[in-house]
Amino acid sequence: MNINKNDTAVVIIDPQNDVLNEKGVSWHLVSNSVKENKTVENIEHIFKAAKQNGFEVFISPHYYYPTDYGWNFAGTVERMMLESREFDVLQLRKRNISKVILLGMLANICVEAHLRDLIEQGFEVLIVKDATAAPQHPDLGDGYKAALINFGYLANAVLSTNEAVKAMA
């Protein structure tokens, strides 16, 4: 995957206190993964590299509308996010963007959903694997490890922050 500022953008998903801060409502689910990956530091490193190298940056926040709390059914992590009241789009084509450097939260839900959507829309996608994290649940297991497997099968590239920054230079 050839990364360059003319057709590649950085997209960060849900850089919110709910998942990236010790006081966040979902911190208990993601804290170990965030700390192990140095997710906050790596997101900052990607932001700085994007600015230094002239890459456009897009934020993709998720938001739950009041009516969403009336859903008749939801997936396990969706239910957890709804119950914790986590705060849950892109204008890439209009800027001739065909490649995306993707990072953010949560790896096995929002990042993977964006990855699948972008791939289906014809974008090339690079995942920055240590600039994301996921829930670790005693019964369900490690969402981050599950996400890494899927990233490998779906993304055009899966790189560390240092590798991604080098590719952006």
* Residue 88 scores a pLDDT above 50: no
In the three-class reduction of DSSP (H, G, I as helix; E, B as strand; rest coil), residue 38 is classed as: coil
Q: Nearest to residue 92, comparing CAs of 65, 112, 71, 114?
A: 114
* pTM confidence score: 0.84
The mean pLDDT value for 74-78 works out to 73
**Checking DSSP bridges between strand 141-142 and strand 136-137, what pairing results, if any?**
antiparallel
Lowest mean per-residue pLDDT among 54-68, 92-106, 124-138: 54-68
Work out the percent of the chain whose per-residue pLDDT is above 70. 86
pLDDT digits (tens, 9 = 90+) for 91-127: 788 889 999 999 999 999 889 988 998 999 899 999 9
Go through the domains of the chain in sequence order and give each one's CATH number: 8-168 (3.40.50.850)
